[in-house]
Amino acid sequence: MKKSIYILFFILSAIFAFQSFPVNAENRFPKPEFEQGHIQPETITPSPRLLLLEYLDVAVLITALSLISYFILKKRSRKLVFWTSVFSVLYFGFYREGCVCSIGAIQNVTLALFKDDYHIPLTAFLFFIIPLIYTLLFGRTFCAGICPLGALQDIVGLKPMPIEAWLEKVLGIFPFIYLGLAVLFAATGTDFVICRYDPFVGFFRLDASFTMFMIGGLFLIAGVFIARPYCRFLCPYGALLNIISRFSFKHMTITPETCINCRLCENACPYGAINMPVQLKEKEKTETVVRRYILLSIMVPIFIFTGGFLASNFSSGFAHVNPKVKLAKELKNNTNYGMGEKEALEITAFRSSGQSMDELNLEVAKIEKEFYLGSWILGGFTGLVFGLMLISLTVFKYHPDYSPNKATCHSCARCMEFCPVKPGVL
Amino acid sequence: MSAEEKNIKLTRRDFVRKGIQFSILGGIGVMAGGLLPKLVGQEYVWQIDTKKCTHCGRCATSCIKTPSAVKCFHAFDMCGYCDLCGGYFRQGVKNLNTGAENQLCPTAAITRQFIEEPFFEYHIQKDLCIGCAKCVKGCEAFGNGSLQLQVDQSICDNCNECSIARDCPSNAISRVPSGKSYLMQGINWKNET
């Protein structure tokens, strides 16, 4: 009796031993039993990059930011800033291949805020937040030479030409629009547009597609004459830093002591970020001020509403970028992704996934709703930025001497070299 | 009087400035606090669910890396060690030898090694493999499905958003906790030490 239990146990355990082999694998040909003692090799599964190295990147970021802030604010040395830029291009650019970067991390944070099932990597979060804190403390020292994209353009900018002030103002709105678009696409889980259309990452990885290579090349060639075109007129992270830097605790100054109004630094800034001294103007009539105030307070809401209305008209266009929405549309119109006779891969995969058309439509309707609301917010935000830009043009700011414009100054330290005042002289 | 007025005005401006500064700091703090539950814990990596994979071949071209970080992995545990291997030979091949005209792999990344009658072992050369999934398709169609596409973690940059995942028609690529890949068949996933 006992023996039979042992036998039964043996058989059962043998069955379970074989059961550990995946059940759903198509086992057409049984695993061979080798007679000459061949030992089956194990499949090698390489492990990812060490987590420690990821944290090393964060440590490098903090060290580099502290150093460059020290170089700019205390040492006041353009040369040291330049060499930090070179280091950043080499380390964050070519060694880390432009990934992880603070600009792209905007999307990670957005996605983590809006989608519950997404876990944001700690490094991406730290790369997003640390430059923000440093900017609040010391101004845009991150832009000066830590961001590999900015550093690359800064090195290239050899013959910068001044841009008309009105053009600079108008182009300065684009970073905010780009930021809004990137947040919209990331929040709906559609795409990470900043990474996809990063003009320089292809250079860092040495494998850009032809289009991206051309765009990146154009930016670099334009960057020789127009200093940092991407940073000033597109970079969405720059838009964030632009706002925060206005309220920074400390910020670099052109002169170490008091400005003597010698005008030597007037043309020093390649970014047009030096506030020229302005005379105190005569007091305006109260009537004009009040009228302007009323006009602006009516105009800004109108801008917000118009922007929202215009953008909401494009919401279906935005939504079409989402692969699911696109799939539903292709299925509905029976257009087969323009593939003609052969069934498109997406449609084949959808049919084999077992998801019903109704389920897909439900999901798509939800995404389209998100896009409709998001487009209103995006448009309203753009309208608000436009309105605030107009207000900033009308507000009179008194500057007795030459000082950096805290919002647009990239803290590159070029202007300091032009200042004849040396510390401790006056 | 006027000096005093000026003084008051300045302090008010400073007060507003300080207020904004600390509200920015507070905002960053609140965001960090809100995301804290999502920050602690596992690191995540991109993985292919081999059950969902349709071997469409987009992995070879969509990856930001050239050649792609997606490689063919061979689960020896599932392999039948066939002489006529659906993953190694082209369809309708006449001679079962290692001639280039007989091989399915466009880069000749699979080596065929004789073990004993009638068994052959197949090895993937990682540096040649481009992740085109031709062998995977062949093995799935005619064999046990032991050849599978997977993201090679030592090559993958762990991008923000996997550009293959976006192009994948069957949503087979997703983030999984690192060191815990349940997505492949026939392999006990363990990190190389």
Do B116 and B71 belong together in one domain?
A: yes
Question: Scanning every residue of chain B, which has its alpha carbon at the shortest distance from the alpha carbon of A31?
Answer: B80
Do B76 and B123 belong together in one domain?
A: yes
* Average pLDDT of the segment spanning A243-261: 92
The total of structural domains in chain B comes to 2
Cβ burial, residue A38 (10 Å; 0-12/13-18/19+): middle
Q: What is the pLDDT of residues A255-278, one digit of tens each?
A: 998 899 899 998 899 998 999 998
At residue B154, the 3 state secondary structure works out as: coil
Q: What φ, ψ does residue A323 adopt, rounded to 5°?
A: -60, -35
* pLDDT greater than 90 at residue A365: yes
Q: Looking at the complex, does the CB of residue A244 fall below 8 Å from at least one CB of chain B?
A: yes
pLDDT band at A24 (very low <50, low <70, confident <90, very high): very low
pLDDT of res. A22: 40
Do B12 and B68 belong together in one domain?
A: no
* Average pLDDT of the segment spanning A120-148: 93
Q: What is the pLDDT of residues A368-386, one digit of tens each?
A: 999 999 999 999 999 999 9
pLDDT band at A65 (very low <50, low <70, confident <90, very high): very high
* Average pLDDT of the segment spanning A231-244: 95
For residue A377, give every residue at least 6 positions away whose Cβ sits within 8 Å of its Cβ, in sequence order, or none.
A180, A184, A308
pLDDT of res. B186: 65
Q: What is the token pair recorded at B44?
A: 């995540």
How many A×B Cβ pairs under 8 Å?
178
Report the alpha-carbon distance of residue A175 to residue B136 in Å, rounded: 45
For residue A304, give every residue at least 6 positions away whose Cβ sits within 8 Å of its Cβ, in sequence order, or none.
A380, A383, A384, A387
Q: What is the pLDDT of residues A139-198, one digit of tens each?
A: 999 999 999 999 999 999 899 998 988 899 999 999 999 999 999 999 998 889 998 899
Which residues of chain B are under the pLDDT cut of 50? Answer: 1, 189-193
Contacts of A136 in chain B (CB under 8 A): 21, 24-25
Do B106 and B16 belong together in one domain?
A: no
pLDDT of res. B179: 65
The H or E element containing residue B34 is helix B2-39
What residues does each domain of chain A span? Answer: 53-267+404-418, 286-394
pLDDT band at A46 (very low <50, low <70, confident <90, very high): confident
* CB nearest A119 (choices: B20, B38, B54): B38
Q: Looking at the complex, does the CB of residue B141 fall below 8 Å from at least one CB of chain A?
A: no
The shares of helix, strand and coil residues in chain B, as percent rounded to the nearest 5, are 30, 20, 50
Do B146 and B91 belong together in one domain?
A: yes
> For A30, which DSSP code?
P
* pLDDT greater than 80 at residue A222: yes
User: How far, in Å, are A72, A122, A179, B42 from residue A59 at the CA level?
Assistant: 20, 13, 27, 20
Do B164 and B75 belong together in one domain?
A: yes
Do B71 and B138 belong together in one domain?
A: yes
* Average pLDDT of the segment spanning A397-422: 91
Asked if B192 lies within 8 A of A45 by C-beta distance, the reply is yes
Do B55 and B149 belong together in one domain?
A: yes
Range of the domain at B5: 1-40
> For B163, which DSSP code?
H
Rounded to the nearest angstrom, the minimum Cα separation between B119 and chain A is 8
pLDDT of res. B72: 92
* Average pLDDT of the segment spanning A102-124: 89
Residue B182 lies in a domain: no
At residue B114, the 3 state secondary structure works out as: strand
Whether A194 and A92 have beta carbons less than 8 Å apart is answered as no
Q: Looking at the complex, does the CB of residue A349 fall below 8 Å from at least one CB of chain B?
A: yes
> For A54, which DSSP code?
H
Do B108 and B34 belong together in one domain?
A: no
pLDDT of res. B8: 61
Report the alpha-carbon distance of residue B135 to residue A23 in Å, rounded: 22
Contacts of B21 in chain A (CB under 8 A): 136, 247-249
Asked if B28 lies within 8 A of A129 by C-beta distance, the reply is yes
Do B21 and B33 belong together in one domain?
A: yes
Q: Looking at the complex, does the CB of residue A354 fall below 8 Å from at least one CB of chain B?
A: no
* Exposure class string for A123-160: b at 16+ Cβ within 10 A, else e: bbbbbbbbbbbbbbbbbbbbbbbbbbbbbbbbbebeeb
Do B116 and B29 belong together in one domain?
A: no
Do B35 and B50 belong together in one domain?
A: no
pLDDT of res. A20: 38
User: How far, in Å, are B58, B72, B73, B87, B135 from residue B104 at the CA level?
Assistant: 17, 13, 16, 7, 7
Q: Looking at the complex, does the CB of residue B125 fall below 8 Å from at least one CB of chain A?
A: no
Q: What percent of chain A has pLDDT over 90?
A: 57
* pLDDT greater than 60 at residue A19: no
Mean pLDDT, chain A, as a whole number?
88
